[in-house]
Structures are given as C-alpha cells and as structure tokens.
Amino acid sequence: MIPPRAVLIVFAKVPRPGEVKTRMCPPLSHLEAAELYASMLADVLETSARAARRLGIDPVLALHPAALGRELAVDVPTPFRVVPQRGPHLSARMAWAVREAAAGGASRVLVRGSDSPALDEGAIAAALDALDRYDVVLRPDLDGGYNLVGLRRPTTAIFEHPMSTGQVLADTLARASRLGLAAIVAAPGFDLDTIADLRWLARERERAARLCARTLDFIDRRGLWSRAPVG
C-alpha cells in the first residue's frame, strides 16, 4: 500500500525590523528583534529540512508578506518549496496553505510556526505518526496556543476561529469536536514570543544546542539573557 503523501509547512515572516518579534521591543530594539528572528528562522528551517528528509515528506516555506518573499527565498535551504501566504488574517492564510498543499497532492499536512526553534525532529515525527490514528494533532505552547498542527485530511474549517489569542488551542479543539474530528494533544513545547520566554530556552539549553545553535549564539553575543526578567 502506497503511504499517503505528506508535507511539512513552515509558517514564517520576512525578518524585517518593526515587523517581527515586536513584543520583545523594548527591551530589544526593532533591529535586534529582527536579527533574533532571522537566527530562529534559520534554525527552524534547518531542523525542518532534516526532519523532512528523514520522514520522506515535502518541506514548504510559507512566507508573509508575499511581496517581500524574494528577499528571503534566496537564502532558504534547497529542499524547500517557497510559497506566499495569502489571506487577510492568519487563519485564512493557514487555510490557504493547507488547500495549496492538498492541490499539489498532499493528503496529510503538518504546519509548524517559526517561533519555536527548540521543536525537534522527534516531535515532528511523532505528530506525523499520530495522524495514522487521529484526524488532528496539536502541540501546545505555554501561552494557550500551539506551535505545530497536523491534519490527516486537509480540513481547513479547523482554522475558522480567532487566532493569536490565549484560547487558540481550546478553540481549535472545540472546532475539531464540532467537525467530528478526533484530536490529540501532544507534549507541550514553547515559543519565543516575549523577552521573558528566554527563560524556557535557558532551561532547555543543553538539549536545544543542536537544534538552535544560531539562536543561542545570537543571544549569547548580544547579552540578551541579562535583559530577560528573572522567573
């Protein structure tokens, strides 16, 4: 039996000052925040490309804003197919990316964010494996959202609710239930959204060193650990 074709979509923004990681400003400058995000994205793409090769799935990079995608596309690892994000808001853009993948022949879709450089290959492989038994798999972050979603079928109605809120995970699970989809919540991870979130990366540093060397190097060189609140 031929296994279903799967894709891994990395959702990302073009790392321009004033348009990424603005919740870290201050204490970071907009330039520092953009440089930190660029380091994170490079790590995420490397891990994702490695996972895609090992799992035999197609890696896709979905960029926003679409008009600026060419600035970044030349630096993207070779395995990635680069597509623009399309839609007026995040839920519409995620739905479009899933439909685009389905139109290209994918029946199983994984979508991960670019704010979670410590998300490893094992988490991606486990999510893909879970789709043999579940319609939806979600990997939570620590602020009520998620940093990875897997769909057994390209059911874009799963995204029809407000995004970027503290209720995204709960709303997605409720939406899946209303659609009659069996969902599973994977082990949680974390995103780097605010300067305080660096504490999670500090605690995971030894494990994460191979996954996000560029991110850690940038934080070390710029002394960002000292700007994060203790807690």
CATH classification at residue 124 = 3.90.550.10
- Reported as a single tens digit per residue, the pLDDT across 119-142 is 999 999 999 999 999 999 999 998
Long-range contacts of 207-211 (CB under 8 A, 24+ apart): 207/118, 208/117, 208/118, 211/43, 211/47, 211/117, 211/118, 211/119, 211/120
Q: What is the mean pLDDT of residues 80-98?
A: 92
In a domain, 111, yes or no: yes
In a domain, 36, yes or no: yes
- Reported as a single tens digit per residue, the pLDDT across 42-63 is 999 999 999 999 999 999 999 9
Q: Is 120 within 8 Å of 47 (Cβ atoms)? A: yes
In a domain, 226, yes or no: no
Q: Residue 111: which domain range?
A: 6-221
> Domain total for the chain?
1
